[in-house]
Chain A
Amino acid sequence: MTSTSLRRRLVSRAAEAFCAVSVVIALLPLALILFYVVKEGIGALNADFFTKMPKPVGEAGGGMANAIAGTLILIAIAAGFAVPAGVICGIHLSEYPKSAFSTIVRFAADVLNGVPSIVVGIFVYGILVLPVKRFSALSGGVALGILMLPIVIRTTEELLRLVPAGLREGALALGATRSRAIFTVILPAALPGILTGILVALARVAGETAPLLFTAFNNRYWSTSLTQPIASLTVQVFTYAISPYEDWHRQAWAGAFLLVMMILVLSIAARLAVRRLERMNRP
C-alpha cells in the first residue's frame, strides 16, 4: 500500500518537474529574443526612423519610412485576395465536405502549408516577375497571400464545422435559402474564430523575408506603385544587418523591434476583436 502510494507520489513529482522544464524550454527562447530585440531596438527607434527615407550607403541617419509603408501595402495586397478566396474555399469545404473538389482543395491546402516560403517566392517569380521582367509590389503581395491561403482555408472550414446544425435548421425553417443561412447565420457564428485565423496568418506573413527577395525585391525610394519594386521591413532589416555599417545595424535592430511590435499588436487586436464578437456570440 505505502510503496504504491510512494511510487505514485514520485511519478507525480517527476511529471511536474518535466512540465516545468518544458515550460522553461518553450519560453526561454521567446524571452531572450524579446529581450535582445527590445534592448537593441528601442534605443535605435526615433522619429526619423518612421518619417525619413534611407540615406545613401555609408551615411549615418535616415529611416525606414518607405519600408514601413511597403510592408503595410504588401500585407494589404496579400489579405485582399487571400482572405476572400480563403474564406470562400473554407465555406465550400465545410458545405460539401465529401465532394471531389473539396478533397483536392483540402489536400492542396495541406501541401501548400508545408511548402517552404522561399519556394513560393520562386514560383511567383516565375509567373509574375519573369514575364514582365520587373520586380513588383503586386508579385510580393501575391507571394505572401499564397502563404496565407492555407491557414485561412483550414481555419474557416474547421470553425464553420463547429457551428451547431441547429442554427442552420433554425434559419432554413424560417424560409432562408441555403446561401442566406450560411452568410447571415452560420458565418457570423464562426466569425470570431475565423478572424483570429486571419490575424494569425497575417502575423505570420508579415515576418516573411525569403519570398519577397524574388518578388517585391527592395526599393531605396518611396513607392506605392503596385507595378514597381517595393521596400519592406523584413528585407530592409536583412539588407542592413548583413551590411558592414554600424548605423545600419542599429537601424536593423529598430526594424526588428518594430516588426515584433507589429505582430504583437496584431495578436492583441485579434484577442480584443474576438472578445468583442464573442460577447455577442457565445452564451
Chain B
Amino acid sequence: MNEPKIHVKDFDFFYGASKVLHGISMDIPDRQVTALIGPSGCGKSTFVRSINRMNDIIPDARGTGTILIDGKNVYGRDTDVVALRRRVGMVFQKSNPFPKSIFENVAYGLRINGGGSKREMAEIVERSLRRAALWEEVKDRLHSSAFALSGGQQQRLCIARALAVDPEILLMDEPASALDPIATTKIEELIYELKSNYTIVIVTHNMQQAARVSDKTAFFMMGRLVELGDTKTMFMTPKEKMTEDYVTGRFG
C-alpha cells in the first residue's frame, strides 16, 4: 500500500476551553473516498475543517497534534495556508454561493488564481457545472444571480465552484443533505468518477450513501474516532458494538 494522502496523529481540537476532538489518529488513502459518519455534534465538521485549516478563522479555536498532507505538516510554522486551501477544496454543510452570477461563482477560484483566457474560463466553468450535474439547468442563465437558484442547485453550484480549481483533495461536508434523490445520485456518480483523480473525504448522515460511495468509513462519536476500516467491513462485520448499533440504526 502506498503512502496515505492525509496522515492524522493524536489530533485534539478545542473551542475555547471545550475539547471537541480527542486524540484522532487516522490515515486517509490517496485517490479513494473516505466517509465520516457519526451522530450530530460528534465533531465531523470540526475534523474536516481542520484539514484545510478553515477553523483558523474561528476566534479562540485551536488544534494540537499532527495532520500531514503528502508528508507535510498542515499546521507547520512555514505552511502557506492560502496555498494549502488551493490544494484542498471544500464543499460546506450549508451552501454558500457568492453574491455574483452563476458564471462568476464558478470562475471565482480561477480568477483569484490568476485567471486565464476568456475561452479557457468558459470551458472550465462549463466542465465544472456539467460534472456537478447542474449545466443543463443553468446553461441559459449563466449570467443571472446565483441566489435565484434553488437550495439544491446552490449546493451543486458550490460543488462546481470547488471543482473548477482542480484541487487534489476534496472535503465534502454533507454535500447532498439538501438534494433530491436524482441530484443525489448524480453527485454520487460524480464522486465515483472523481476518485480516480482526487482524494475525497465526505461527511454524511446517510448510511446508504456512505455504503455506496466510500472505500473507507470512519465512525466518530463524541469527539473520538471509534472505528475506521473498509466500508464493507464497517457495514457488514464491524469490530465495535457501537459501530454496529449506529450503522444498523439501533443507536440511541
Chain A interface residues (CB < 8 Å from chain B): 164-177, 180, 184-185, 188-189, 279-283
Contacts and interface: CB of A to CB of B under 8 A. Distances in A.
Contact of B112 (A165, A180, A281): A180
Contact of B147 (A166, A173, A184, A282): A282
Contacts of B52: 173
Contacts of B147: 280-283
A184 B89 CA distance: 19
Nearest to B151: A283
Max count, chain B CB within 10 A of own CB: residue among A166, A174, A176, A184: A174
A167 B98 contact: yes
Nearest to B147: A283
B112 A174 contact: yes
Interface size class of B (residues with CB under 8 A): 20 to 34
Given A169-B54, A173-B52, A174-B109, A164 B82 contact: no
B99 A166 contact: no
B237 interface: no
A169 B158 CA distance: 12
B82 A185 contact: no
Contact of B89 (A174, A185, A280): A174
Contacts of B100: 188, 280
Given A169-B96, A281-B99, A175 B113 contact: yes
Contacts of A166: 92, 94, 96
Max count, chain B CB within 10 A of own CB: residue among A171, A172, A185: A172
Given A169-B96, A172-B54, A174-B112, A279 B85 contact: no
B57 A168 contact: yes
A171 B92 contact: no
Interface in B101-122: 101, 108-109, 112-113
A171 B108 contact: yes
Given A170-B158, A280-B145, A184 B108 contact: yes
B57 A167 contact: no
A279 B99 CA distance: 10
